[in-house]
Amino acid sequence: MNGQQQINYHRIAEAIDYIKENFKEQPNLDEVAERVHLSPFHFQRLFSEWAGTTPKKFLQYISIEHAKKLLLNHQATLFETALETGLSGTGRLHDLFVNIEGMTPAEYRNGAKNLYINYRFAESPFGNLMVASTPKGICYMAFDEDEVRALNHLKQKFPNATFQQKSDPIQQNALFIFQNDWSTLSEIKLHLKGTKFQLKVWETLLKIPMGKLSTYGKIAEKIGNPTASRAVGTAVGSNPVAFLIPCHRVIQSSGNIGGYMWGNTRKTAMIGWESAKTD
């Protein structure tokens, strides 16, 4: 790291600390930029390069994490939560949750209450996995050799849902994909929770043909935000439905396989398996 890079690093680190410490005041771009002695334009560009998101988005993430703690602990009403988070009212709190979490504050507080989820464990060419479904579609799919751990991860995503270890046709249609029964792909329904950005990225992943690969940069271009490669990487890494949403088909522009939530060895095996099947 050269001298200028070190200076930039320390400036962004100072900006991040400032936002974390003062998020209740909801500082704007000009205020944070002035804190690190940069013009708003230069600061916005530099922050996005180093942090992988904009200062505004980072402030929103910090704000919503604080609000989530208040709501889950039932420490405050929605109005009190909004004020405690530095927002002017419940309307801004509502917009923040819908944009970031894909649900309203009340829905988040309920933690998927009244949601019924069936789950089962199954074998695949890439190891044991858990698949879970609601009446609307597959909501979760993950590789894990430890069934207790897998169930705990599922419950963390839907803390107040009602769970039943039960197989259903929605799950079975999804599992047919491992048996080369591609004719059922159109029958697979997904029930996803995510931000608008995440959903857009996941939708783009679904369009990568089997046996083909893409890069984070190409995904960013396809969603109309060519400078958002890092944010795309974060969204890809947040994929809640392994294999069906093929995040394993995304590699680095250098040709390196890149990371994978369920292990790089498994990702390499998936790419090879799909290539052989399509050949």
97 and 81 co-located in one domain: yes
Residue in 133, 136, 73 with CA at minimum distance from that of residue 108: 73
Boundary of a domain, candidates 162, 187, 212: 187
- pLDDT per residue as tens digits for the range 259-271: 899 999 999 999 9
Question: Helix crossing, 40-51 with 3-22: angle to 10°?
Answer: 90
Q: Tell me what pLDDT residue 188 has.
A: 80
Q: Looking at residue 41, which CATH number applies to its domain?
A: 1.10.10.60
Q: Looking at residue 263, which CATH number applies to its domain?
A: 1.10.10.10
167 and 227 co-located in one domain: no
- pLDDT per residue as tens digits for the range 140-188: 999 999 999 999 999 988 887 889 999 999 999 899 888 765 555 556 8
Q: Tell me what pLDDT residue 128 has.
A: 95
260 and 173 co-located in one domain: no
Catalytic residue among 100, 247, 270, 271, which? 247
Question: Which residues in the chain come in under a pLDDT of 50?
Answer: none
201 and 268 co-located in one domain: yes
- The long-range contacts involving 92-97, CB below 8 angstroms and separated by at least 24 positions, are 93/67, 96/60, 96/63, 96/64, 96/67, 97/64, 97/67
Name the residue range of residue 206's domain: 196-278
Q: Looking at residue 137, which CATH number applies to its domain?
A: 3.30.160.70
120 and 205 co-located in one domain: no
Boundary of a domain, candidates 129, 160, 187: 187
Question: Is 247 among the catalytic positions?
Answer: yes
**Which H or E run includes 137?**
strand 137-143
Q: How does the average pLDDT of the chain come out, rounded?
A: 87
255 and 270 co-located in one domain: yes
Q: Tell me what pLDDT residue 183 has.
A: 54
Give the number of domains in the chain: 3
Q: Tell me what pLDDT residue 101 has.
A: 67
7 and 69 co-located in one domain: yes
Boundary of a domain, candidates 89, 110, 131: 110
